[in-house]
Amino acid sequence: MALISPSRRLRRTPFSDGVERAGVKAYTVYNRMLLPTMFDSMAADCAHLKSHVQVWDVACERQISVKGPDANRLMALLTPRDLSKMADDQCYYVPMVDQYGGMLNDPVAVKHSDDHYWISIADSDLRLWVKGVVAGFGLDVDVSEPDVSPLAVQGPKADDLMARVFGEDVRSIRFFRYKRLSFQGKTLLVARSGFSKQGGFEIYVDGGEIGMSLWDALFAAGADLNVRAGGPNLIERVESGLLSYGNDMTDQNTPFDCGLGKFVSSNADYIGRSALERVAERGAEFALCPIEILGEPIGVCDRAWPIMGGSSKVGQVTSAVWSPDANCNVAIGMVRTGDAVASSNIEINTHHGPRIGQIRDAFWK
């Protein structure tokens, strides 16, 4: 593929200078912002992530701030997940659906208080939907995109690196909880979360001006930990079964299709509830599955690859990559549940040519 033309519409981040200095090799575009995806090779970045610590510019995980007396009511309308027990220092993975039960986004919600949340969004224009819901229901909530840019610190040495910059307090942050910790006189929200299964933190950098001093401080403190710049890694993500909105699911899928049924509460009262109740009754149409693609390392999956069961299409592969650790091509695909394909071989019409695939019952560990 040719290069992407830079322009003002394609937003830089507070960390872009550091990312460039670290020798970024590839970007993708996410929420109209640059998202670095590769620094060495995909495989080398993945191996490094699994044994050391990386700093990721994930500023493109933009925050939608919802603030006002009706914030709790708004959040409850937006997601089928029950938020009634969510604490003021907690983050929740929250699928969001439209009135038909179709997935609009799969953000992380960060609760400040009953009248203030951040919605840390995946790649879709969720803010417009949120504003529409506020208008339609006549809610007293202010919706904005603040200047808040997440910087992730991921990998097995993340605790050690973070403790050097933010103090020993970081070690006691529990999974999907946060603490407010100070850096150069500013208080930043630091959560134990992130888009990898290697462990780590996300720092919500409030105010772009301090972005580069934080970036530099992390690299200065972590030299002997072999800290490097990184980004969400396709190999690690597919091995771990972390879903990518727009790739693995769209508004044509319900949370049940995506294996996110455990986040659909039967107590909650949200937009799309009756649609999802009907789906729950009759069963999901699709199932998102780990799929092994046999044969040589496969090229990138930049369009849906039809999955054939005999002469009929039974699904599609939406993410695929060679995994050096699994020693096979690992993939994620949506397969029609009515078809008895689970144990048998399937054919995948990749745009690199046809391949045999096997549906697996678990992701690669």
Return the range that interacts with ligand THG (CB under 6 A); candidates 117-125, 289-297, 322-330, 347-355.
Answer: 117-125
340 touches 314 (CB < 8 A): no
The span from the CA of 230 to the CA of 337, in Å, is 36
By the rule CB under 6 A, 54 interacts with ligand THG:
no
Question: Closest Cα to residue 229, out of 33, 13, 28, 40?
Answer: 40
Query: x/- contact string, 291-330, with ligand THG (CB under 6 A)?
Result: ----------------------------------------
**Is residue 121 a contact residue for ligand THG (CB under 6 A)?**
yes
Size of the site for ligand THG (CB under 6 A): 16
Which among 235, 212, 163 is positioned nearest to 192, based on CA atoms?
Answer: 163
**Which lies closer to ligand THG via its Cβ, residue 37 or residue 120?**
120
Tell me the C-alpha distance between 70 and 288, whole Å.
35
Q: Does residue 93 touch ligand THG according to CB under 6 A? A: yes
| Interacting residue with ligand THG among 13, 16, 72, 120 (CB under 6 A) | 120
In 167-225, where does DSSP find H-type helix?
A: 211-221
Farthest CA pair distance, the chain: 64
Nearer CB in complex with ligand THG: 106/159: 106
Place of tokens 């678990």: 362
Burial call 95-104: b when 16+ CB within 10 Å, e when fewer: bbbeeebbbb
Applying CB under 6 A, which of residues 29, 47, 242, 275 lies at the interface with ligand THG? 242
CB of 200: closest distance to ligand THG in angstroms? 10
Which one of 106, 159, 236, 248 is in contact with ligand THG (CB under 6 A)? 106
Least CB distance to ligand THG at residue 313 (A): 27
Which amino acid is located at 113 in the chain?
S
Residues that bind ligand THG (CB under 6 A): 61, 93, 106-108, 120-122, 150, 176, 193-195, 202, 242-243
